[in-house]
Amino acid sequence: MKLIHLSDLHLGKRVNDFSMLEDQAYILDRILEIIDTQRSDAVLIAGDIYDKTVPSAEAVALLDDFLVKLANRSLAVLLISGNHDSPERLSFANRLMVEKGVHIAPVYHGEVTPITLKDACGPVDFWLLPFLKPIHIRRFFPEEGVESYTDAMACVIRHMPLDPARRNVLVTHQFVTGAERCESEEVSIGGTDNVDVCVFSPFDYVALGHLHGPQNVSGERVRYCGTPLKYSFSEVRHQKSVTVVEMGAKGTLDVHTVPLVPKRDMVELRGSFARIKSPEFYGKVDRNAYVRVILTDENDIYDAMGQLRLIYPNLMRLDYDNLRTRSGSVELEEADVRRDPLELFADFYQQQNHQPMSEEQRNYLKELLEAIREERA
């Protein structure tokens, strides 16, 4: 049986106030092409379908279009909610969609019923488990002493009617201890949301969602497929992909990836303002990409964002990396009130910027101080 593992679509997401809907529609079409090429039997979508619990109308329409196209391919679709989704909204009309092969995990009510698919090697049981917190599980199993996320997951799995002789696949949305996060993901204080990977031992494959970087956890049997698009500049070095899982007989598993090429990449450019603005530099750069520029100039450039957007229309973010920004805050010694304010400010400027004020700057400050004195006179 060949499975396509997806997660964290985050439909409707905005990155640095740029709508990603066009990029998402594009990448979903590329995913459909991969599904066709791979001749897949089922698609697993492991949560965070939307970016918000109350998604925009455009995001809902995009998901609707994607699910219709999947259903028309006569393959099974197994989908769960993540921490960004509303499980109640996402599972609306689930019973109607089952007739088209689209299975959406209902709100957890203390039990999980498997969805069984068959291939030449026999049945495969798929267990759909949406994002859960310990408080959700304590309602149904008050006597189990559930305190942590690991306790909660272990409790839920213990109460599943698993048949260890059959192939079992879990689709869930949690943070597993040992996996690597990036800045675009929600982080709990002290790692309290960690789930120990050992609780997944009864499963032949665990299709995880939640983390944006594709990665295995303690081997290929437990895997995050990652997001299909880059959603922060902490992800610029990620190679986004579709995870393809081929299951043979019990205990036989092959996992590989197919790269995804976005409509617009996300890149970082570093250098002086003059260099990044020069034709020799930007002629070698994909100017259509989503860009973060890191300027190394010691002085701030007036309207740098506006000027650079004339060259890089999708400039999302502008930062400085220089002596001033690397040094952090500067502590001045207690000032002598009898010192000339001009000289006092000049000392502060040099400590802050690691260079003296220019003559033009000194003259401007001198005029400003004289104007202030005249107002107070």
The mean pLDDT value for 203-227 works out to: 94
Which CATH number describes the domain made up of 2-259?
Answer: 3.60.21.10
Q: How far apart are the first and last CA of the chain?
A: 87
Q: Which amino acid is at 68?
A: V
Please report, for residues 39, 40, 43, 182, 229, the alpha-carbon distance to residue 33 in angstroms, rounded to integers and kept in the order given: 10, 11, 13, 28, 16
Q: Flag whether pLDDT at 325 surpasses 90.
A: no
Lowest mean pLDDT among 64-73, 230-239, 280-289, 351-360: 351-360
pLDDT in tens, 119-140: 999 999 999 999 999 999 999 9
pLDDT in tens, 79-88: 999 888 887 8
Q: What pLDDT is stored for residue 269 in this prediction?
A: 96
DSSP string, 135-193: HHHHTT-GGG---SHHHHHHHHHHTS---TTSEEEEEEE-EETTPPP-TTS---GGGTT
Can you give the residue ranges of every domain in the chain? Answer: 2-259, 266-326, 329-376
CB 274 within 8 A of CB 299: no
CB 174 within 8 A of CB 131: yes
Q: Flag whether pLDDT at 354 surpasses 70.
A: no
Q: Flag whether pLDDT at 335 surpasses 50.
A: no
In sequence order, the β-bridge partners of residue 78 are: 44, 103
